[in-house]
Each structure stands twice: as C-alpha cells, then as structure tokens.
A = this chain, B = another copy of it.
Amino acid sequence: MNIDIITIGDEILIGQIVDTNSAWMAQKLNEEGINVRQITSISDDPEHITESFTEAAKRVNLVLVTGGLGPTKDDKTKDTICSYFNTRLISSSEVLQNIEDLLSKRGIGLNRLNRDQALVPESSRIFQNKLGTAPGLLLEKDGCSFIFMPGVPYEMKYLMEFEVLPYLRNSFQTSTIFHRTVLTQGLPESMLAEKIADWEDALPDYIKLAYLPSPQGVRLRLSARGKDHSEMEAEIGVRIKALEQLIKANIYGFDDESPAGTIGKILTEKGWTVSTAESCTGGAIARLFTENPGSSLYFKGSLVAYSNEIKINLLGIAEETLARHGAVSREVVEKMATEACRLMNTDFSVATSGIAGPGGGTEEKPVGTVWIAVAHGDEVISQLYNFGNDRERNIIRTGQTALFMLRKLMLSYNNSMENN
C-alpha cells in the first residue's frame, strides 16, 4: 500500500523549522509495511493545497496531512478542506468537551479561538486528541482517504500511535517490510563500498541495500519486502552474519542504537562506570550518555572544565603544564582523563581539549585541532585530530570520535577478561 504525506505551513518552506514530523511518520508507517511514496511540503495557500490534494489522490488512496489546524489566524486550512470535500463546518460537541477538559486542567477558561477549534467539517470522522485542542479528522473523496492532524509534534505522535495507526491496521491489508540497519564507524563510504562489493552483489533481488552517511559513521540499511515476516528476518540475519566476517571491527550496533547507547549496554553488562572531563565539547559527551534511559547505572558525572581556572582548581592541572604546553595538548588532556577517573571514582573516562572555533585558532593549532584521551585508571590513550572549520561539526565529531576510542579501549579489556 502506498501513501503520501503532505505538510501544510509556511514555516517549513521558509526554513524556519525542520520537518521532523514527516520523518517520524514515515518510520512508523514503514514498520507497518506501508510505503511512503512522497512527502510534500506546501504553503497554506488554498489553491496550492487543493492542487496538492488533487495530485496525491490520483496516485495513492491514503494521504496523511499535518499542519494548518492550530488556534491562530495563520491557519486557513479548514475552509480549504471544506471546499475540497464539498462540505461545511459545524461545531462538534465532542471536540468542544475535550477542549474544555484540557483547558480546565490547566486552569484556563475557554476563549473565542478555542471555541473555533471545535468547528469540524460536517462529513468528517473525528479522532479525539487528548493532548491538544485540535482533533484529528478523516475525510474521503473519490476513493482517496485524507487524515488531517495538527502539526505540533507530540500531539501528532499521540494521534498516530493511539488513533490513526490502529485505524489503518483495521482498515487496510498491509504487506510487510523488514528493515535492519547496520551501524558502522571508521570507514568512509567509498572504502566501505569496495570492501563489501562482492557481498553486496550477492544480495537477492528482494533485499535492497542503502548507504546512509551520518555524523556517527556510515549506516547500511537492508530492506526486504514480502509476505512472511520471519522468513525475511531470518534471511537478513544470514546476510548480516556474512557482513560481520568482513567488517566486524567497524560495526558498533544496529538500527536505532546510538554509539553512546551501545557503550552504555556494555558498561551495564560489565558493571563498569564512566565519567567525562570536557573542555571543547562543553558537556556534549555527558549529554550523549545521559539522553539514554538507564544511564544513571553507569554514567556518574562530568567535569566541564571550559576555563583554565577550572582545569587548575578542580582537575589539578598544573599552571606550569598549561603555560608550557597550552590547554590543547597531550599533557593536559591525559591528566584530565586520569583525574576524571580518580575524582569521580569511575572505571573509565573520556577527556577532550580543542579549539572548536570560530575564534581561538593559531598557526600551530588551527581551529579544529582537538586532543582526545580515554582512560582506565592510570592507563591512558590519547590522540590528536583536526576536524576542520565548523564549530558545531567539531563538537559533534569530537564527541563521536571520543566514544569510538572509549569503545575500543573497553573492548580490549572485555576481550582480555574473556581470554583469562
């Protein structure tokens, strides 16, 4: 089954917001075996809306629409919907009740704008929105169903999970698609492609491979479409086993796993703990660990030592070391790492010191120069990098590289433990 997603609203077209809704919806739909044919972002101009609806309806029989249902005046979508579906707005007591309940919980009275939100096209089926004042709406024309949802991400997600997806499961027979993504680090796309060329050529027709570069490394997505879910899962499993023979050291995880998340799994399993001492990453690595649920089991804390004063006073870096080698040096970053282990009493630690930019570069140490150290007690490994000119990219790549180094160090202990 093919569907289209249409996003209404100027804010995407002028680049003021990034369309994360469509990506989220596409992912959920794919898991149901529903194929997203096209994602289209349009303005709230009535003519453009009508044109897009007409074009989508020619090619698919289901369209999911987000945006254009908020309480304020930049939303003219409802009128356009009424004329496209040849219906009129009526006040829904069911929707009004939901709005009143929501507002009274927040201690707010009903205003005219909220009252207008209870107006829905007469011929629509309503999906109640327990998290917001704009309901989901289903309308049909010429054999094509349109489902409208508000653009606020958590309201849309609620409606999708609890109303729209269950409705789709009941209403449409869907074929299955099985995806597995292999997450790799340490090989650029073209080198990776050469290394696995024979393996790739041997894939059967019904398994598609895609290379997806990301700041964390290249992801390899395998997709199989068919009737029997477990058969496809097994076949992809066999292919991945063969892939692991070729690039085992470069595979850090699968699917939605993050580098910090997979490290967290190993730490939890081993009962190990970790801390960070961060200068140029300014808390970014601590953030990567702590965005994972359950991180308190292994992540104890971090010292973000952005100023030299804090490097001296809290991390025990000697003023002389700073004067002689500078803050961005092997000597400083190694001491930061071992001190983090000691001060925060952790098995492992990560430390960074670099020049993220745009200012602060010198001829000897240009913007992008970064020292990274990983430590296990007093054992410390450090490495110098240059990641280029972009501040945000420097912070992200430093964080990801630090995690890659930490993973290698941890695995060396893991293996030596297993061998003993």
B293 touches A391 (CB 8 A): yes
- A10 cross-chain contacts in B, Cβ below 8 A: 208, 210
- A25 cross-chain contacts in B, Cβ below 8 A: 15
CB of A185, distance to nearest CB on chain B (Å): 17
Say yes or no for A152: interface residue by CB 8 A criterion: yes
CB of A10, distance to nearest CB on chain B (Å): 6
Whole-angstrom distance between the alpha carbons of A208 and B344 in the complex?
A: 54
Say yes or no for A173: interface residue by CB 8 A criterion: no
**Dominant SS among interface residues on chain A:** mixed
- A144 cross-chain contacts in B, Cβ below 8 A: none
A26 touches B39 (CB 8 A): no
Whole-angstrom distance between the alpha carbons of A285 and B344 in the complex?
A: 20
Q: Which residue from B70, B193, B300 sits with its C-beta under 8 Å from A72? A: B193
A306 touches B296 (CB 8 A): yes
Closest to A212 in B: B11
Whole-angstrom distance between the alpha carbons of A359 and B23 in the complex?
A: 27
Q: Which residue from B210, B286, B291, B314 sits with its C-beta under 8 Å from A286? A: B286
- CB within 8 Å of B: which of A213-257? 213-214, 219, 221, 223
Known contacts: A12-B23, A301-B310. The answer to whether A72 contacts B190 by CB under 8 A is yes
Given contacts A12-B26, A15-B22, 12 further A-B contacts (CB under 8 A): A9-B210, A13-B39, A14-B36, A15-B26, A37-B42, A70-B213, A73-B193, A73-B200, A152-B213, A281-B290, A286-B286, A293-B358
